[in-house]
Amino acid sequence: MKSTVIAIDIAKNVFQVAVSKTPGKVCEEHRLSRGKVFEWLARREESVVVMEACGSAHHLGRKCLEYGHEAVLLPPDRLGPISKRVNRYLREMLIHGARSALNRAKARSEDDRTHLETWAVRLDARKGYNKAVVALANRIARAVWAVWTQRRMWQPDCPPATAA
């Protein structure tokens, strides 16, 4: 069984990588360029690699499989609470991702939207753009937290986790 979890925040040129050998505890953090991330993953022991599903995540996921890792792509549809106590960079990245997802959802026709996209667009209409973006980012954070700490595969049909 693969006991190490590697979380990758995919960006245009630099990837933020966090490694956990114990649920909820980060033991390593790295900022790697696009080219270096493949070399780094090739040298790592077999692990579960978690990342948000996006255009480049599928390519990275296939590379992870080639290196013997288990790739888990998380749909950008559920999040955990974002507070000002967490890492500022992580909070910024979650907000940027949610902003992009909401803009993309608004550009789609109503029939082509997923359940989450429909929810986010309706929230935007009711509460305003910025509140909808933060709410969407919160759902993504909750999903990532649940997969990482509970060591279970992503199940997109599960209801979103609620803050206790």
The verdict on pTM exceeding 0.85 is: no
What contacts 147, CB < 8 A, 6 or more positions away? Answer: 50, 72, 74, 153, 154
What is the rounded average pLDDT of the residues 95-113? 90
For the chain, where are the E strands, in sequence order?
5-9, 14-20, 28-33, 48-52, 70-74
Phi-psi label, residue 46: left if phi above 0, alpha if psi -120 to 50, beta otherwise: beta
Task: Answer whether residue 85 shows pLDDT above 70.
Answer: no
Residue 41 structure tokens: 């993953």
pLDDT digits (tens, 9 = 90+) for 46-79: 888 888 777 778 888 888 888 888 888 876 654 3
pLDDT tier, 34 (very low <50, low <70, confident <90, very high otherwise)? confident
What is the rounded average pLDDT of the residues 81-94? 67
Domain layout of the chain by residue ranges:
5-74, 88-150
Task: Answer whether residue 107 shows pLDDT above 90.
Answer: yes
| Three-state secondary structure call for residue 154 | coil
43-72: b (≥16 Cβ within 10 Å) or e:
ebeebbbbbbbeeebeebbebbeebebebb
Average pLDDT value over all residues in the chain: 80
Homologous superfamily (CATH) of 5-74 is: ATPase, nucleotide binding domain (3.30.420.40)
Residue 79: predicted pLDDT: 37
Residue 105: predicted pLDDT: 92
The residue type found at 137 is A
Residue 162: predicted pLDDT: 45
Residue pair 16/29 in contact by the 8 Å Cβ criterion: yes
